Amino acid sequence: MVRAIVGANWGDEGKGKITDMLACDADVVVRFQGGANAGHTIINEYGKFALHLLPSGAFRAGAVNVIGPGVALYVPALLKEVGELKSRGVPAPNLLVSDRAQVVMPYHIDFDTFEEERLAGHAFGSTRSGMAPFYADRAAKNGFQVCELFGPQDALLDKLTRICAIKNTLLRHLYQKPMIDPEAMLELLMAWREQLRPYVGDVSKLLRDTVGKGGSILLEGQLGALRDLDHGIYPFSTSSSPLAGYAPVGAGLPLNAIEGVIAVTKAYSSCVGAGPFVSEIHDETEAGKLRALGGDAGEFGATTGRPRRMGWFDCVATRYGARVQGATELALTNLDALSEYPEIPVCVAYEHEGKRLDDFPCTPLLDACKPVLETRPGWRSDIRGLTDWDALPDAAKAYVRFVEESVGVPVTLLSTGPGRDEIIRLDKKA
């Protein structure tokens, strides 16, 4: 069985926990897009971890963890994560890196930083991990596939020289920054080649063989539907597609291989970075309260450490996100964070110039939208760690059913805490 685990919102929905939990039955876990620009927080018997490139099946001895061809591979970040896991007593993950994946170069990160600095007040809120310059080079055919690192060095140097001529023109005339030395870049790529050598292989063949044997594959997305380059809040988007529709492309599978799509959403909303956020809580005291309740370390970006912007559950955005993801089921996370509220506001629609909107609009309209808020009854009791649906207060059950009805997709996984086992499996409920 092949299932995609993707975000219904702005990212940071809890995909890492859901993947880590479901990976106990998986043969292969695949990261299919994005790079080290976002993190998946995982809490299990080994401790608390923030993974940026490693798939969240890294803690499961029986799973092969795959970096697919659609991933922006920053080699130092990947190797650092593998080393950190080993240093904390986690067995070395069974890792396979696609020979067709492309590498993030140091100058991609530099250009990302320089451009955000140049834009100043008009910046997009980038994590400065090099994603936009990387994917731009990839589309312009100025990237480096992993397999090229194992080819002739003179061909690599020739390509580096041509690319650096373009980069150095921008560095000199637009950013006034030091030039790039092609030979230094070649030396770095040769070092990366040797570090990657034990992990590189043919991902497509592994996945094809696994499907042929009736095995289980999880396709793990990064960020969420509202950050998609085509269907998200453009230009406040990422530079790749976090949609389940891209998952088979970014992994190396045929489209018809996917049998289910789990869209992950929080019981409230959170967002890192710039752009419209209709259900945002603008009272910092109220936002700070929800931020502090949202997990063991609060709501702060796993990659940047930036405090997340907080908002109430957004029916409009989540319904749209689940739709473009093709969700067959929902995983609802962080329900326990709402336990202190006697009443819980939810955004049931948008208002734009006096008119009610029930469908998610494009960015220019979104900028001028206001939330239409209603309140749902709270439960005022601690539900953290519950694993039995029947043990939930009636008001908490009603909130879950409200989410299902508003989004139009059944909730099959209900997270009641950050730990791996703090979850209610509604998909197992008779």
Mean pLDDT of all residues in the chain? 91
Phi then psi dihedrals of residue 148, to 5 deg: -65, -25
Lowest mean pLDDT among 116-120, 128-132, 347-351: 116-120
Task: Please report, for residues 17, 243, 306, 332, the alpha-carbon distance to residue 44 in angstroms, rounded to integers and kept in the order given.
Answer: 9, 27, 24, 19
Across the range 190-196, mean pLDDT stands at 96
Instruction: Report how far residue 179's alpha carbon sits from residue 181's, in angstroms, rounded to the nearest whole number.
Output: 7
Neighbouring C-beta atoms of residue 258, cutoff 10 Å? 21
Q: What is the pLDDT of residue 427?
A: 75
How confident is residue 111, by pLDDT bands cut at 50, 70 and 90? confident
DSSP summary character for residue 242:
-
Most confident of the ranges 104-118, 232-246, 385-399: 385-399
β-bridge mates for residue 94, sequence order: 64
Across the range 378-406, mean pLDDT stands at 96
Whether the CB-CB separation of 399 and 335 falls below 8 Å is answered with yes
Given a cut of 60, whether residue 294 has pLDDT beyond it is yes
Phi then psi dihedrals of residue 262, to 5 deg: -95, 110
Across the range 373-396, mean pLDDT stands at 96
How confident is residue 428, by pLDDT bands cut at 50, 70 and 90? low
Domains along the chain with CATH numbers: 2-87+204-428 (3.90.170.10), 102-196 (1.10.300.10)
Given a cut of 90, whether residue 48 has pLDDT beyond it is no
pLDDT in tens, 408-420: 999 999 999 988 8
How confident is residue 339, by pLDDT bands cut at 50, 70 and 90? very high
Lowest mean pLDDT among 43-57, 238-252, 388-402: 43-57
Lowest mean pLDDT among 12-16, 181-185, 258-262, 278-282: 12-16
Given a cut of 50, whether residue 430 has pLDDT beyond it is no
Given a cut of 50, whether residue 184 has pLDDT beyond it is yes
Given a cut of 90, whether residue 121 has pLDDT beyond it is no
CA Rg value for the chain: 22
DSSP summary character for residue 225:
G
Q: What is the pLDDT of residue 116?
A: 80
Given a cut of 80, whether residue 122 has pLDDT beyond it is no
Q: What is the pLDDT of residue 303?
A: 54
Instruction: Report how far residue 239's alpha carbon sits from residue 72's, in angstroms, rounded to the nearest whole number.
Output: 10
Q: Which amino acid is at 244?
A: A
Q: What is the pLDDT of residue 301?
A: 54
Phi then psi dihedrals of residue 299, to 5 deg: -90, 90
Q: Is 326 left (phi over 0), alpha (psi -120 to 50) or beta?
A: left
Active site positions, annotated: 12, 40
pLDDT in tens, 296-316: 555 665 555 668 899 999 999
